[in-house]
Amino acid sequence: MKRIFLLLVAVAFFISACSNTEHPEGLEEQTVIEDVHSYAYIHEVKTLHLDLDLEVDFNNNTIYGIASHTISDHTTDKMIFDINGLEIIKVTLDSGVETDFKIGKNDELLGQPLEVTIKPNTKQVNIQYKTTDQSGSLDWLPPSLTSSKKYPFLYTQGQAILTRTWIPVQDSPLNRITYSATIKVPSELLAVMSADQLSPKNADGIYKFKMDQAIPCYLIALAVGDLEYVKLDSRSGIYAEPQLIEKCAYEFEDLPKMINIAEKIYGKYQWDQYDVVMLPYSFPFGGMENPRLTFANPTLIAGDKSLVSVIAHELAHSWSGNLVTNATWNDFWLNEGFTVYFENRIMEELEGKEIANILAIIEFQDLVESLALIEDSENPEDANLKLDLEGRDPDDGMTDVAYIKGAYFLRTLEHTVGRKKFDEFLKGYFAAHAFQTLTTEKFVSYLEEHLLNPNKIEFNTKEWIYQPGLPENCIKISSPRLEAMEAFAHIADQGGDLSKDNAFRKLKLSDHITQEWQTFIRGLNKNVSHSQLAFIDQQLGLSTQANDILKSDWFKLCARVNYTPAFPEMKKYLTKVGRRWLVEGIYAELAESKDPKRLEFAREVYENAKTNYHTVTARSVAQHLGLK
Ligand code: BES
Ligand code: ZN
């Protein structure tokens, strides 16, 4: 029903746009943008402010309380929220009059519409509810899965459409709201949120928060655990479990520098505070850009700051994503492509062009592999930047296309127009769209109007955005340092013996950075002999000493070539780490080998490891293993 209505409006606007207006796309932008991943009709009535009053109960693994929505002026008599896996207890209006509500049919992907009867003068809708074991956003960890092993831990993951599994909201990125919260937790734990922290650690376990800048609902986030704080400078710091806090403070000590660099490039940091909270290993991402408080995975703690580009990435989202937000999940590349581009610019300032190039080449290797897989998949159009995810999980759009093809599109543009002009353009773009949402189409017209036309530049924008694959003009980046590593790999892959190579024989893991070793490992293909792998592992300690990024590439190779001596360490790794992109590739290799033994091994490991996986990771892995 909703689709038909929207389509009619869209057609009406298209006709009127064709006949008279100068900026039809502007008109369309304000009036109807369809988000196929939300039941809400935010153009009829929308939440302006959300106030949460919640209690976190670790005995029953539930969150219980009231979500009060202050709503916009309206003429409709119903308001629709998205819910998924929530138990709705009671709904009241304004100061407490109970009202009717109806819960629609459950869709496995989208959950249910919660339809609340409202009055023309209703200002506030208060929903009393409880989370359940179907609340996919929530990861309840027993003490054994934390680093202290003493206290339980809880964190939420909202992006893309999981906020509705822990709060009843109009869960579309089109909908920007402010929020405040009072959260009650066990007295020995601390609660942190993507908001201004108003209460210090206290014995009552009651914490208050407020977020005065309007954000999309997927950025509402909460973590509760035995957390300490270390300040890095006046506006940044780290929360972590006591055992990790020192390591984190060292690993991320360049954070204040990064914020200054980012501000110099694209304008003032708009969120006042920038903290990072280190979560347990089960966190399904390297990082998540919750405003004021990036959520991070302990796999980033390499001991040598070699993985800080993930923090640069999450920081960059403070502009691309959090300040200027993709209107729908089909425009996801506007969030991630810009962020990968910006991340690399921060890294270039911090570590120099050579390192930035190395990082960009590693990304390119990933992209080439992903594009090949997507081309052969059921959905080859997923190789376009602009996606069509109707009827599918927005998570399916979380591929290297949005991230890396998106970033290479921007790099190629930068190369074409020159950095100075491109930076001016991007600075203007962030300023012009701050605290707004944007469609791909609106971006394209802004690009034409503010960069391409004034400079009389022809650019194949449409090919980049609406066609699969990589356009011819994609810039090429090279790095002699990586070429040297490829040469080593080539020796082993061609049946040579690296133990007889004088240069290689002397190498230790610490002689090269993570990305150089990644290039080496990725250069070893099916032809490498098991005796060479044994020598390499013995010399470098990849199975045991390497950081978690390198281990992921190494175990992927071992899975592909069936190098079983590494399997016990691989199992340990898969049981400890829950970061999706690190474990998924290993499981995929084991499953796709078509070797029943390897598949059985993978299933066995997964059975055992899945209690340490967030639903996001578990879902992806189960798919690879044919368990779903
Ligand atoms: N926002 C993403 C994570 C995300 C995307 C969660 C889509 C849910 C749906 C985050 O910023 C991210 O991209 N993390 C990456 C970092 C990497 C690209 C540097 C990760 O976790 O690996
Ligand atoms: Zn990102």
pLDDT tens by residue, 350-403: 999 999 999 999 999 999 999 999 999 999 999 999 999 999 999 999 999 999
Residue 277's DSSP bridge partners are 239, 295
What CA–CA distance (Å, rounded) separates 617 from 11?
40
Residue 427 is given by DSSP the state: H
From 285, 366, 396, give the residue whose CB has the most ligand 1 atoms within 8 Å, as the site to mutate: 285
DSSP 275-333: EEEE--TT-SSSEE--TTEEEE-GGG--SSSTTTHHHHHHHHTTTBTTTEEESSGGGHH
DSSP 560-608: HTT-GGGHHHHHHHHHH---HHHHHHHHHHHHHT--HHHHHHHHHHHHH
Return the CATH superfamily for domain 49-316: tricorn interacting facor f3 domain (2.60.40.1730)
User: 627 CA to middle of ligand 2, Å?
Assistant: 28
| Complete edge-to-edge strand list for the sheet that includes strand 228-233 | 228-233, 236-240, 274-278, 293-296, 287-288
Q: What's the distance, CA 493 to chain centroid?
A: 35
| Complete edge-to-edge strand list for the sheet that includes strand 112-117 | 78-83, 112-117, 101-103
Strands 324-326 and 436-438: parallel
Q: Establish how many alpha carbons lie within 13 A of residue 525's alpha carbon, considering only the half-sphere containing its beta carbon.
A: 6
pLDDT of residue 285: 98
pTM over 0.75: yes
Residues 244-268, mean pLDDT to the nearest whole number = 97
Residue 14: pLDDT band by 50, 70, 90 thresholds? very low
Q: Establish how many alpha carbons lie within 13 A of residue 266's alpha carbon, considering only the half-sphere containing its beta carbon.
A: 29
15 or 234: which carries more pLDDT confidence?
Answer: 234
Q: Is it true that domain 324-466 has CATH number 3.30.70.20?
A: no
Residue 525: pLDDT band by 50, 70, 90 thresholds? confident
pLDDT of residue 32: 74
Output the ligand 1 site: residues, CB below 6 A.
159-160, 285-289, 310, 313-314, 317, 336, 395, 398, 403, 581
Q: Establish how many alpha carbons lie within 13 A of residue 477's alpha carbon, considering only the half-sphere containing its beta carbon.
A: 21
What CA–CA distance (Å, rounded) separates 440 from 250?
39
Residue 20: pLDDT band by 50, 70, 90 thresholds? very low
User: 403 CA to middle of ligand 2, Å?
Assistant: 8
Residue 98's DSSP bridge partners are 92
Mean pLDDT of all residues belonging to the chain: 94
CA angle, 181 as apex, 175 and 186 as ends, to 5°? 135
Q: What share of the chain is helix, strand, coil (3-state, %, to 5)?
A: 45, 20, 35
Burial of 450 (0-12, 13-18, 19+ CB in 10 A): middle
Q: What is the pLDDT of residues 430-450, one digit of tens each?
A: 999 999 999 999 999 999 999
pLDDT for residue 9 is more than 50: no
- Do residues 219 and 160 lie in contact, with contact meaning Cβ atoms separated by under 8 Å? no
**Fold held by 501-624:** 1.25.40
Show the tokens assigned to 99: 């009202």
User: Where is 394: in which H helix or E strand?
Assistant: none
Q: For the chain, what are the domain ranges?
A: 49-316, 324-466, 501-624
- Residue 160: cis peptide before it, omega within 30 degrees of 0: yes
Q: What is the pLDDT of residues 133-188, one digit of tens each?
A: 999 999 999 999 999 999 999 999 999 999 999 999 999 999 999 999 999 999 99
What CA–CA distance (Å, rounded) separates 99 from 97?
6
Q: What's the distance, CA 568 to chain centroid?
A: 30
Residue 17: pLDDT band by 50, 70, 90 thresholds? very low
pLDDT of residue 15: 35
Residue 248: pLDDT band by 50, 70, 90 thresholds? very high
The ligand 1 atom nearest the CA atom of 160: 9
pLDDT of residue 334: 98
What CA–CA distance (Å, rounded) separates 590 from 573?
14
For residue 539, give the nearest of 531, 548, 547 by alpha carbon: 531
pLDDT for residue 405 is more than 70: yes
| Complete edge-to-edge strand list for the sheet that includes strand 222-225 | 138-141, 153-156, 222-225, 190-193
Residue 31: pLDDT band by 50, 70, 90 thresholds? low
Nearest CA to ligand 1 atom 17: 310
What CA–CA distance (Å, rounded) separates 469 from 484?
28
The ligand 1 atom nearest the CA atom of 309: 19
* 218 carries an active-site annotation: no
Show the tokens assigned to 518: 């990644």
What CA–CA distance (Å, rounded) separates 161 from 175?
13
Q: What is the pLDDT of residues 33-54, one digit of tens each?
A: 899 999 999 999 999 999 999 9
- Lowest pLDDT segment from 29-43, 124-138, 271-285: 29-43
Residue 5: pLDDT band by 50, 70, 90 thresholds? very low
In degrees rounded to 5, what are phi and psi of residue 68?
-105, 120
* 229 carries an active-site annotation: no
User: 515 CA to middle of ligand 2, Å?
Assistant: 19
Residues 574-587, mean pLDDT to the nearest whole number = 98
Could you tell me the sign of the dihedral formed by the alpha carbons of 231, 236, 237, 239, in that order? positive
